[in-house]
Amino acid sequence: MRILVADDDAVSRRLMEKILTRSGYEVMTVADGRDALDALTHKDGPRMALLDWMMPGIDGPEVCRQLRARQEGSYVYLTLLTSRQDRTDVIQGLEAGADDYLTKPCNSDELKARLRTGLRILMLEDKLVEAREEMRMRATHDALTGLLNRGAVLNFMKAEMARCRRERTPLSVLLCDVDHFKQVNDAHGHLVGDQVLRELAHRLKEAIRPFDGVGRYGGEEFVVVLSGCGSEQLRHRSGHILDAVRSKPIETSAGPLHITISIGAFTMDSPEWSGDVEFPLGRADSALYRAKMNGRNCVHFADHLSTNDSEHVSLPTVS
């Protein structure tokens, strides 16, 4: 565990560093409060700190206050070192955000015992953060594929629609369906079908940009949200996604399976456009139906300027 020692007295710093190094800590030392705050707010900064109360720049309590005011980053266990023994001073330090305090000069055994308490608290904090993240993942991600689940991808889509309207940029929505997926389950079983869906999800995720969104809409259907993607760019992007799936067989326990998808695509590129997620999803769904009717393994583009007009584009099949 890395620990920061902040003290403007060089002798005290060296003594504390010696004690902590012998106890197995990786020690970092600074001589003033501003350097201490910079070190503790660094992305890979120490998780524990011993802060002298009186330091140049800013004092120990102020370091505590400014660090606690920041919301990001992992929790840091802070111990104030002070020669003050008045109860009012102790309360002031704890209210500033310190977790503990020690009176100087410190007893080495007491110091190590207090730090062990800090380590236990940090371990509990890390377990709580891990549990919270696991709960968030379960609430927002599909258990089988690891993609966003239906609710989460629709929330992502809603947020991107609002952002694109504000920034007057286009947005495209793709509804993808695995061709003849029922035959895969009937011929090879649902476990093989699950393997196909997992690999398909991986290929879809690899085929989009980090700031785009993809989620499992239900069964063998997936939604892809392409931010800043207009109708002309969509032709290239959708073809890339189509090829990412069909370019090579998917390896399964039943052997390699050649899998294709059909895509219904819809673009919102009018800055005056307003509406909710149901409308673009409905247009993409209608386009997907036409892609299925036109032989599958293709993309069908819906034109949002007219509810009756659309254009079918069948991209070349990869052999």
Does the bond joining 105 to the residue before it have cis omega, within 30 degrees of 0?
Answer: yes
Give the residue among 254, 148, 144 at the shortest CA–CA distance from 199.
144
Residue by residue, DSSP assigns 296-315 as SSSEEEE-TT-SS-EEEEPP
**Do residues 33 and 3 make contact, with C-beta atoms less than 8 angstroms apart?**
no
Sign of the alpha-carbon torsion through 206, 208, 211, 213 = negative
Three-state SS at 221: strand
Give the residue among 268, 200, 210 at the shortest CA–CA distance from 234.
268
Residue 90: partners with Cβ closer than 8 Å, 6 or more residues away: 84, 101
Angle made by CA atoms 12, 15, 21, in degrees to the nearest 5:
135
Which alpha helices (H) appear in the chain, and where do they start and end? 10-22, 33-41, 60-69, 87-95, 108-140, 150-167, 181-188, 190-207, 231-246, 278-293
148: DSSP letter:
B
141: DSSP letter:
B
Distance from C-alpha of 122 to C-alpha of 128, rounded to nearest angstrom: 10
Distance from C-alpha of 259 to C-alpha of 244, rounded to nearest angstrom: 11
Catalytic residue among 199, 206, 220, 272: 220
Distance from C-alpha of 11 to C-alpha of 179, rounded to nearest angstrom: 74
Query: Does the annotation count 251 as an active-site position?
Result: no
Length of the chain measured in residues = 319
Catalytic residue ranges: 220
